Amino acid sequence: MAEKICYYEVLRVERSASKVEIDRAYRKLAIKFHPDSNRDDEDAVAKFKEATEAYEVLCDGEKRQRYDQHGHAGVDGVHQFNDVEDIFDAVGDLFGGGMFGDLFGGRSGGRRRRSRKGADLRCNVTLTLEEAARGTDKDISFRRRVSCESCSGSGAEPGSQPATCNTCGGQGQVIQSAGILRVQTACPNCSGSGKQISQPCGDCRGSGLQNKKAELSVTIPAGVDDGMRVRVPGEGEASPDGGSVGDCYVFITVRPHDLFKRDGSHLILQLPISYSQAALGAEIEVPTLEGPKELRVESGTQNGDVFTLRGMGVVDPRAGRTGDLLVQVFIEVPKKLNGEQERLLRELAVLDQEAVLPHRKSFLANLRNFFEPDSELKDS
């Protein structure tokens, strides 16, 4: 995580700056980097958020004291804004009146309560490697909160209507002042809904939502891997105040396979072969997700050599490319030999000693010299 810049440096003031100097510095930066004056300028928006975060700390005597003593760790509870809307929700009508007057057309002074999106849900699906590689349809079931059928989501008993909250006037927000900073918070009387229900619905108890079982058929795209998720839009929970419905996220678990291991879009197969197949070469039938395929093992193949079958892996769901099947061979030594096998191998061992390969001869010579260092002088 990048280290935060000093709040005094953000506002371009000295540590000894007075409250008036801090107000003036922030006003100057806020006017310069305000989103209404810098549309589509992400850098300006980032500086606007940074300046507002710094001002929220330094304009408050107690927070400033904690910051001076402990740095950023002393003010961890202060707002860290995610976007511009988050700033306007936090500072209320600061930009629509008071400190900035009508400079930006009263952007926040008349802000209306925003409807909240319904909650997102998580579901889990377990797949075989074959299903993950080819894609499949899976039926899932779960419980979610939906709009109450009896009151159509209003929370009020059928035949009655919710009343406007007297505390916030239907805005769902109340403003608290701290010097020149005015902070909006959810109305404590209506919990941000802007409404009061005198006769709650008997089925949903005034929440406007009911718990229902949902059953869906979800299309899993080809190539998904363990830990990936598939988003199913609009299949989450209903909004408590008429906003958009949340989404359902299906998290994928892929079972281990008996033959294949996966490395991204590639598949790895460890294939046992005999000594004679490695030495002489062979045509071997190997399994793939598309059925058996012929693999040519060249003579002189060594233990651990890898052969590649192009395009026999798994499709990458993001890039659209298909990986390869990597066949790693290992030479399997028989644990038991019949008489004929043992006789032939002993004959081969004798032949190996008579026709020693150059690199092996060098190794044996070096080995002899290691144990008998005077032998080289005698030979010469």
Q: What is the pLDDT of residue 340?
A: 87
| pLDDT for position 87 | 56
pLDDT at 103: 42
Encode pLDDT of 98-149 as tens digits: 444 444 444 444 444 566 788 899 999 999 999 999 999 999 999 999 988 8
* Nearest in space to 75 (alpha carbons), one of 87, 97, 88, 59: 59
What is the model's pLDDT at position 108?
40
| pLDDT (0 to 100) of residue 106 | 40
pTM: 0.56
Torsion sign, CA atoms 301, 303, 305, 309: positive
Name the one residue in this structure whose structure tokens are 């902070």. Answer: 183
**Average pLDDT for runs of 10 along the chain of length 380:** 76 91 89 74 83 87 86 67 52 44 41 70 94 95 90 85 83 66 70 80 85 93 93 90 87 95 95 91 93 93 95 90 95 86 78 54 65 58
Model pLDDT, residue 111: 46
**Radius of gyration, alpha carbons of the chain:** 36
Three-state secondary-structure class, residue 256: coil
Cα 50 to Cα 25: distance, rounded to the nearest angstrom: 13
Position 214 scores a pLDDT of: 92
Q: Give the separation between CA 86 and CA 5, rounded to whole angstroms.
A: 21
Q: Which residue has the tokens 């005077």?
A: 374
